[in-house]
Amino acid sequence: MEKIVNIFVNDIASLRTGRATPGLIENVIVTVYGGQKMKLIELGSITVPDVRTLNFQPWDSEAIREISNGIAAANVGMTPVVDGQIIRMSLPMLTAEQREDYIKLLGRKLEGARVMVRDARADYRNDIQKAKQSKEISEDEFKRDEAELQKVTDQYVKKLEEVSEKKEVEIRG
């Protein structure tokens, strides 16, 4: 369940909040060096000089044009501008409609994560059910384990909801 929370956190990191964060572009895949596909995070460093700007500095300045073209082709909502050895990108303002769309998307991602947690609970419950049926554990142990499993599940669902609420506040600006 902890892995599910981490997956959810990483998944929503790419949602725009009106603030520039490296998560917006770090997983963008560009084609460099004659056809090799790589993520930006593997090609250089991403900095956030202010709340509306991202800078990308490639480790290999020879590939700067390929990287810039790849970012433009990825359609991340920002236009890359090559400025010497750095690629600068400005984040446009989010409209109220875009913010609402991102909040709806966040809700869908949250529900998907909740389903994954419930699936993990069901898998574990099946395991303890089998242990009870094969007499490895008693009925009392089964009930105790089942109650503990529900408690843990509720904690992780609450954790997902807290992360989601925090992200929603960021999106609303």
The yes-or-no verdict on residue 1 having pLDDT over 90 is no
**29 & 76 share domain:** yes
**86 & 100 share domain:** no
Assess if residue 74 is contained within a domain. Answer: yes
> Residue 40: its pLDDT value, please?
86
Assess if residue 2 is contained within a domain. Answer: no
Domain boundary among 59, 90, 121: 90
Determine which of 74-78, 140-144, 147-151 has the lowest per-residue pLDDT on average.
74-78
* φ, ψ for residue 21, nearest 5 deg: -140, 150
Assess if residue 163 is contained within a domain. Answer: yes
**73 & 137 share domain:** no
Only one residue has tokens 């984040």, namely 91
The yes-or-no verdict on residue 155 having pLDDT over 90 is yes
pLDDT tens profile 54-112: 899 999 888 888 989 888 888 777 888 998 899 999 887 777 888 888 888 889 999 99
Spatial separation of the C-alpha atoms in residues 14 and 81, rounded to whole Å: 21
Spatial separation of the C-alpha atoms in residues 121 and 104, rounded to whole Å: 26
H runs (alpha helix) in 76-135: 96-133
**62 & 126 share domain:** no
> Residue 18: its pLDDT value, please?
66
Q: How many CB atoms lie within 10 A of CB 117?
A: 21
CATH number at residue 79: 3.30.1360.40
> Residue 113: its pLDDT value, please?
92
pLDDT tens profile 10-43: 877 767 666 777 777 888 888 888 888 888 888 8
> Residue 16: its pLDDT value, please?
65
Domain boundary among 43, 58, 90: 90
Residue 168: domain span: 96-172
Contact 142, 132 (CB under 8 A): yes
